[in-house]
Chains A and B, each alone.
Chain A
Amino acid sequence: MKNQHLPTASVRSRAVLSLLARVVLGAMFIYLGWSKAADPVGFLKLLRQYQLVDNYLLLNFIAVVLPWFEMFCGILIIGGVAVRGTALILLLMLTGFTGLIIQRALVIHDASHIPFCSVHFDCGCGTGEVFACWKTFENLSLGGLAVAVLIRGSLPARPNARKTR
């Protein structure tokens, strides 16, 4: 009877893994956002290279908002606030970023005739020059974490805590 409401070991371990996933994902986005926010001019120039938008107002808007938005999402996800919504947003962002990186890497690969995985450039991610393959792998890993967090949400330590929401 006394042990009726104690979480099982598997529930506790899932909660710990969920927390770990949130912390890793959140910390990464806080770091990447901060790196961009520390050099907004550099980020603006790199963003321009992708030729995403023709309108300078939209380009400026993305350059201004995106770094801080990434940090905001990182803080939310670590703090356990709006976890699923934030995880979905991060997943969508990672999908878009990965597509852009692969596209740009293919352009460089076609122009310079070097192997795709040897292509390296400053992707504007906040980590300086990176190899396209490694960056794609990194983004896919972060995307996997985002999916896990999206599914699990902010797991409580005790299963009964869910019922009281």
Chain B
Amino acid sequence: MAHSLTTCFLVTMSEQLGLHSCIMPAVRSVVFECVWVVVIGVAVGLVANRISPKGLTLSRNYFPPTPKTSSATPLSSAKTRGRLESGVTNELERVKARLARRGLRVILHTNAVQVFQSLRREANNIVFIDSREDKYYREAHIPGAYQLDYYRPEKHIEEVLPICLAAEQVVVYCNGGDCEDSELSAVMLTEFGVDKQRLVVYAEGFTVWKKMGMPCEIGERLSGNIVATRDEKPTPADR
């Protein structure tokens, strides 16, 4: 049906435009090649994604929308509301505003360091969750942090969820800045039953952690391979 309609259309057009009769078969040939290349190419893509260990889940909404307004935000002080209404000016304020709309609490670097140094962390009453992928986690992460790759949660959720449910405070981080993986992971954890009041997002992320010369663990969790960079001056390359 499609073939005959296309043929009819092309013949009509060629007659209208006065095209030479030898051009139309070539055009038809090209069009049909396009059609089958697209059909087979799409099929190849879907099959390859299914087979690939890095494949995405077609049906998953990886980026749930940020609510426009949040009626009960922990940061909805008059000052914050005023800033939200007038428009945020710097990146950190923008990140804080975005997290506030999701109803997530934010901690900054100073607080994150205090939490890290707390004795409660050693008893797993406070846990750090690294929401970055394997490559970045293994390069370096906050010592003792559990990995929860937001895009492949099935790899870690069974280990991490019970710990988060039992912890008094869960600090989620990613690279910071425009990276949304930490907040998306935090939202995912709330969907799995973790109390939102126990969740905080370390807004500035690992980029600032490393830049400020804090200890970083390399490789697996509790590998013992900790790089203490406090004496090193952060370089522009660390940004």
A interface list, Cβ under 8 A from B: 37-41, 44, 48, 56-57, 60-61, 63-69, 72-73, 76, 82, 84-86, 88-89, 150
Contacts and interface: CB of A to CB of B under 8 A. Distances in A.
Interface residues of B, number: 32
B41 interface: yes
Contacts of B31: 85
Given A56-B62, A85-B34, A88-B30, A66 B56 contact: no
Interface stretch (B11-19, B44-52, B103-111, B165-173): B44-52
A61 B33 contact: no
A73 B45 CA distance: 11
Nearest to B152: A41
A85 B29 CA distance: 8
A39 B135 CA distance: 11
A26 to B, nearest CB: 13
Interface of B: 26, 29-38, 40-42, 44-46, 48-49, 52, 54-63, 133, 151
B131 to A, nearest CB: 12
Given A63-B56, A65-B49, A72 B30 contact: no
Chain A's interface: helix, strand, loop or mixed, by majority? helix
Contacts of A56: 60-63
A48 B63 contact: yes
B58 A73 contact: no
